[in-house]
Structure 1
Amino acid sequence: MKTTFAAALLASLAYAFDDGVWSGHDWFNEDEGVGVKNGVPYGQDPETQRRVDSATLQSGPGVQNKDKKNVRMIMEVFGEEDFEHLFPVHDKLYTYEAFIVAAGLYPKFCAEGDPSLGLTEAEICKRELSTLFSHVIYETNGGEPDHHEYFRQGLKHIKDHHCGKYPKYPPFDGPPECNFHSHGWSAKTWPPFEHAQYYARGPLMMKWNYNYGRFADAVYPGYPKDKMNIMMNPENLESGILGFLSALWIYMTPRSPMPSMHEIATGFYKPNEHDELSQIFPAFGATTNVFNGNKECNVEFGTESDAAYHRAQ
């Protein structure tokens, strides 16, 4: 399930800075066919460039997003009424408008698909929305069977409702399973702050300091003060737009050596021989493998966990 270093690496470097922190740090990897010029990643061939573009978060005022091609497609196949029907118990911060604004910052979401699928643009967009929301529903489910069907209880929680009850400031007196401060190289690259708690937040329940750090790199490339704000105050993800944006970042970004969930849903991912021997195919189950496969896939070879089953239910 291998993807190139190029696609997995630098979606966060989305903007050029003539006199900024990336000036004078251009490089090119000939083996991978990818490089960075003045902070902007690029691919040597069209397919590598497509992968880089797909995972790149764009900037721009949210009010302009409704003019973007992918947002128009989303609004055509999944309107606000559909959103309210699917998520009748959603937290007040998770609005349709917040989702639309966040989606517009990933222009390739709901806007591309491999021709081999034989699907229309609308069908591909529905496939993407179904894939993303299936994981969102599982991660944020209200778990109240007397109110609505299971699949209509998503977006109930904006954070881990167990870990979120403990105070923000040290000393942290929560249980060990709520402490997501890493060690080793990841802690050196994205140092956790003592007072900050990086437990699960957002529609896909992002956790760990290194994921908050990578997300901050993608949202605020070249703006260290803004990136530091997320690292110092991870509770900022307890919001509508930034929360949805964190979910889309997880969905659109490859995890080397694996492809992104977007690559799988849109048909661009092609299993290699090792994938096929491991029974990994370009279907919904492969997105679970990318998202949380170390815990949910191959409990016993050829079987699935209860969690993996409920994601696809």
Structure 2
Amino acid sequence: MILLHRNDGRCPARGFYTYYDAFVTAAGAFPGFGTTGDADTRKREVAARRMHETTAGGMGRPTGRYAWGYCFKEENGGATYCQESTQWPCVPGKRYYGRGPIQLSWNYNYGPAGATEAISVDLLSDPDLVARDAVVSLKTAIWFWMTPQAPKPSSHDVITGQWRALRRRRGRGAAAGRPFGSGSGTSSSPVQSFYHADA
């Protein structure tokens, strides 16, 4: 069962995510989220994004790894996670360890997430806000879902069919554009394949 222990007394985030209200508010800040494609595509996207938030706890947890989603709102013993950057400089004394339902990490994610119109908060100066405000926390999860992280496309573009893989097999020169993961022979090493987004 998904999120079975979300409000369990052993969960540090118990009661933090009043999921429905916070989720609706957060989702409303991202116009393409859950609104792209037909009804089945929209439902698939919302379900798939939610599943990315349910992996807390690990394989050894009682009742399975997915039952403990939303149990944690921040990484235990979080490190600094600061990478030198002129665009997204770390603020002295701040740490950019995993927070929120997807465990947003590193200054190069906190900076652009907070700078988006949908969030509009200086998360470099206040990364703890992701663990204090459920709406901001869920917005960072949706931001990560909606935003391409080079060289990867966004999860949104993949799940809604806006991104297609182009595969060229070494030695054959043949290219076949088809949705990622469709058909046979879709798994190969990165050396044998490359992908691009269809505009």
Scaled to the shorter chain, the TM-score interval is 0.7 to 0.9
Deviation at 1:144, TM superposition (A): 6.0
Unpaired runs of 5+ residues, structure 1, are 1-84, 114-119, 164-177, 285-296, 302-313
2:2·2:54 contact (CA, 8 Å) conserved in 1? Answer: no
Runs of 4+ with deviation above 4 angstroms: 274-277
Deviation at 1:86, TM superposition (A): 2.8
> Which is helix-richer, 1 or 2?
1
Kindly indicate whether residue 27 of structure 2 is the aligned counterpart of residue 126 of structure 1: no
Q: Which one has more relative contact order, counting CA pairs under 8 Å at least 6 apart?
A: 1
State the secondary structure of the residue aligned to 1:273. Answer: strand
1:118-157 correspondence to structure 2 within 5 Å: 120-121=38-39, 123-138=40-55, 140-141=56-57, 145-146=61-62, 148-157=63-72
Counterpart Cα distance in 2 of 1:180 and 1:298: 29
Selected match of 1:273 from 167, 170, 178: 167
Other-structure match for 1:112: 36
State the secondary structure of the residue aligned to 1:272. Answer: strand
Query: Structure 1's 129 and 220: CA in aligned 2 closer, same or farther, altered over 3 A?
Result: closer
User: Given the two structures, how large is their TM-score scaled by the length of structure 1?
Assistant: 0.49
Deviation at 1:220, TM superposition (A): 6.9
Other-structure match for 1:215: 113
Deviation at 1:141, TM superposition (A): 3.2
Counterpart Cα distance in 2 of 1:273 and 1:267: 16
1:46-125 correspondence to structure 2 within 5 Å: 86-90=2-6, 91=13, 92-96=15-19, 97-113=21-37, 120-121=38-39, 123-125=40-42
Instruction: Tell me how many residue pairs correspond in the alignment.
Output: 173
2:146·2:154 contact (CA, 8 Å) conserved in 1? Answer: yes
Other-structure match for 1:253: 147
Deviation at 1:244, TM superposition (A): 0.6
Deviation at 1:128, TM superposition (A): 0.8
Deviation at 1:249, TM superposition (A): 0.2
Deviation sequence 1:134-182 (CA, Å, 0-9, x none): 22112x3366633x3332221111011232xxxxxxxxxxxxxx22111
Deviation at 1:233, TM superposition (A): 1.6
1:127·1:265 contact (CA, 8 Å) conserved in 2? Answer: yes
1:264·1:283 contact (CA, 8 Å) conserved in 2? Answer: no
**Percent identity over the alignment?**
25
Unpaired runs of 5+ residues, structure 2, are 7-12, 183-187, 193-199
Which one-letter code corresponds to 1:154 in the other structure?
Answer: G
Other-structure match for 2:10: none
Which one-letter code corresponds to 2:91 in the other structure?
Answer: F
CA RMSD of aligned residues (A): 3.1
